[in-house]
Structure 1
Amino acid sequence: MRITLLMVLGLTVGWAQSDPGEVLRQWLEEGRAAVQAGQFDAAIARFQKALEAVDADSAAAGDLYLRIGETQRRKGDLDGAIQSLAHANDLLPGNATVVGTLALALDSRGNRSDAQRAYRATIELDPNNAIAMNNLAFLLAEEGTSFDEALQLARHAMALMPDSMQMTDTAGWVQLKRGDNDAAIALFSDAVAKEPAEDSFRDHLLMALERKGERAGIFGETISALKQAPSPENLAKVTSLLQGLK
């Protein structure tokens, strides 16, 4: 599963050498609060107001373009996000947060080749960026030409974030795409056991079990349970059945 949420709205990127000042700080905080409340237009308006008050070629402007771009991305304005994040990248060259956020926007926009390049650039700048590794692994698996690299990236991401079942799910997806159903089932089972209500994990496990082609016994019962709507009883049954798959 690709990870699409990235927190980049703290006062961390473009203000290292200077305090933004009380008025600017207030606009930034109001913008951040608006993003968290899902009020994206209000947030963008606050960040743009702050942008008008800083040097257009400064790192602070780069920080604000980053905030605007991330907010546009969450809003679904991907073209606007890519444009804003490109400005941020010009003003904050070599910044892994900027490049990583741009990669997410490009990925969501369906610009897969550009997204791959941006994810690779992010990893080069930040070798422990598990989100970039995870998402690049997913893209490579979907492309179907670099399964070994995809699996290596997915495993590295899992090692960096062992408690994230999204990473486990991506590793399972890579294994499924490369034809190793047993490995995929093991990974998807782990993800579903820990987060049984997550529909995408259940769907992926169901896909792997059906692809394996075993309809009898524990496999058939698990397939049947996964097809049912999640409920407290169903989640408990799925969790119990998964123990039998190990």
Structure 2
Amino acid sequence: MSYVVTGGGRGIGRAVVERLLADGGPVVVVERDPDALAWLPAHPAADRLAPVVGDAADERVAGRAADLAEGFAPLAGWVNNAAVFRDALVESATAVEVWELIGLNLRPAVVGAATAVRRFLAAGTGGAVVNVSSHQARRPVPGCLPYATAKAAVEGLTRALAVEYGPRGIRCNAVALGSIVTERHLAFLAEREPAEATWIGTELARLHPVGRPGRVDEVADAVAYLLSATFVNGVTLPVDGGRAVLGLDPEAR
């Protein structure tokens, strides 16, 4: 069985790739930035890895990834992880600008899911799609309107695909992530003053009932589970340490 992971060169995506490789499957890694793929040739499982440089929202790129995956083995799973963290306020940005930002995070999921579904149907094998969402799909934070809107749409897409194609052997699920420690997160902290970085760490611990942000391998475990859980369909699984269910005490100071 082979897999495609978009945005698989760094952070969460790479952790998913590593987990799927450890489970024995060949993986095609889609990335816009060629530098994010520099680690592939020296990887111990390089013979089960294939890079695709390009935009995951481009159907030609997605098709190339599917071709490479099927060249390894029957395509079994597609992980829509690619995301862009850019936002705007509707009070200052045009509606067109806001819509374009929503599309940056929604289009890759639509293109990836559509490509996977078509290949699963053509092969007659069934398969699984996992979309990467966010706690912000249900509980947005200020300043992230396009991102939160896109992730809410990704979760709606997940449910619609599950209903439409479940009878044909195709499952679709999502993971809704809390704060996860990635290279991008660490770089963000490194740019802050020490006191501010400490405050951010304290706040993240407070917002997650487990007392800390998540690790990329913990996300990869959840994604691998949803790819293999044959009676789980249409689910958005919070992978957030309890952040989505936390009701902070309004009397707390």
**TM-score, structure 2 normalization:** 0.29
**TM-score, structure 1 normalization:** 0.30
Higher strand residue share: 2
Q: Based on CA coordinates, which of the two structures has the bigger radius of gyration?
A: 1
Higher relative contact order (CA 8 A, sep 6+): 2
Higher helix residue share: 1
